[in-house]
Amino acid sequence: MDISSTGLRVLRQIAESGSFTAAAARLGYTQSAVSRQAATLEHSAGATLFERRPDGVRLTPAGLTLLRHAHTILASLTAAERELTAGSLPQTELVRLGAVPSAGSAILPAALAHLAKADPQITVTTREGTTPSLIRALRAGSLDLAVLTSRPPHRPFDSELPRLNLQTVADTELVVAVSSTGQFAGRTTVHVDELADAAWIAAPPSNSGPLLGVWPGLPGRPRVLHSARDWLTKLQLVAGGFGVTTVPSGLSTMLLPGVNLLRVDGTPPEIRRVHVARLNGHPTPAITAATHAITTAA
């Protein structure tokens, strides 16, 4: 096979992005250029590497086999580049870490501080994303670790291969953030029925997950007045009395003035489980150290 490193990077990005269009945008290529690279890869491999589906592009078994080898080849090229350009600089170990916003806000700063003190030779890069995008990045070899959350009944994140190695690091209860001077001022709990007519602040809806920011199983259709993904924006809107939103109780140390957290009565507790995910196999010492730092922070 005559396959270039560019072709392997395109393969990895398609696997991560789930479409030719998204891969082209991430790589700075045109979609036609990515399509040509994909066709060249399939010609060189003598096999169909990509399965075109209504919901995007997935790698075939042959594509996954080539991707597994691409991990090794691209990692070796990156290591060679670092050695050639490092000169006399101290060598560091790199860990590429992704996290969903709710887990990242509460865990990443403390984990990075712990790692910087315990293992200063390890450099961590971080990326925020949705659960589906982070899982694709893990399988594509663009991330080494990902901090993810699951909701009951905590089933596997997906049925794709290869299976992920999941380590549970914490359970946290979902609560409701309210204004300290509004309707629920001075309270520590709220009944779920009282939330039926509340003004909600939630993340924009998507096809990749549930509506985030609205209490699960809320009676009736939620009244979403404000749409925001950023936690700081959500909490500022709450503090201003413009609505309520759900947050993991682990964010209690990051509250803004004017925001209180209430537990919800009249319904079973909503528990969110925090996991550290990686591909199966023997992790490097740097990945093991990073995982320990995340566990400690959680």
List, for residues 70-84, the tens digit of each pLDDT value.
988 988 887 787 777
Higher-scoring residue by pLDDT: 144, 90: 144
Band (205; pLDDT cuts 50, 70, 90): low
Question: What per-residue confidence (pLDDT) applies to 1?
Answer: 74
The letter for the amino acid at 2 is D
Report the alpha-carbon distance of residue 72 to residue 147 in Å, rounded.
23
Can you identify the CATH homologous superfamily of domain 93-166+273-297? Periplasmic binding protein-like II (3.40.190.10)
Query: Stretch 180-197: mean pLDDT, rounded?
Result: 92
Highest mean pLDDT among 14-18, 151-155, 198-202, 248-252: 198-202
User: For 176, how many CA atoms within 13 A lie in the half-sphere containing its CB?
Assistant: 29
CA 180 to chain centre: 31
Burial pattern 51-61, b for ≥16 Cβ within 10 A else e, equals eeeeeebbbee
Please give the CATH topology (third level) of the domain spanning 171-271: D-Maltodextrin-Binding Protein; domain 2 (3.40.190)
Band (98; pLDDT cuts 50, 70, 90): very high
User: How many C-beta neighbours within 10 Å does residue 201 have?
Assistant: 24
Question: What per-residue confidence (pLDDT) applies to 291?
Answer: 95
Band (195; pLDDT cuts 50, 70, 90): very high
Per CATH, 5-86 and 93-166+273-297 having the same topology is answered no
List the helix and strand counts (H, then E) for the chain: 8, 12
Q: Over the chain, what is the mean pLDDT?
A: 88
The residue ranges of every structural domain in the chain are: 5-86, 93-166+273-297, 171-271
- Per-residue tokens: 291: 């995982």
Query: Stretch 159-185: mean pLDDT, rounded?
Result: 89
Question: What per-residue confidence (pLDDT) applies to 177?
Answer: 96
Q: Which helix (H) or strand (E) holds 168?
A: strand 164-179
Band (182; pLDDT cuts 50, 70, 90): confident
Q: In this structure, are residues 138 and 166 in contact, taking their beta carbons and an 8 Å threshold?
A: no
pLDDT at 187 over 90: yes
Band (209; pLDDT cuts 50, 70, 90): low
Band (246; pLDDT cuts 50, 70, 90): very high
Question: What per-residue confidence (pLDDT) applies to 251?
Answer: 77
Q: In this structure, are residues 273 and 153 in contact, taking their beta carbons and an 8 Å threshold?
A: no
Band (13; pLDDT cuts 50, 70, 90): very high
Q: Which residues contact 137 (CB under 8 A, 6 or more apart)?
A: 16, 98, 127, 129, 143, 146
Question: What per-residue confidence (pLDDT) applies to 152?
Answer: 80
Percent pLDDT > 90 in the chain is: 54
Question: What per-residue confidence (pLDDT) applies to 144?
Answer: 94
Please give the CATH topology (third level) of the domain spanning 5-86: Arc Repressor Mutant, subunit A (1.10.10)
pLDDT at 206 over 90: no
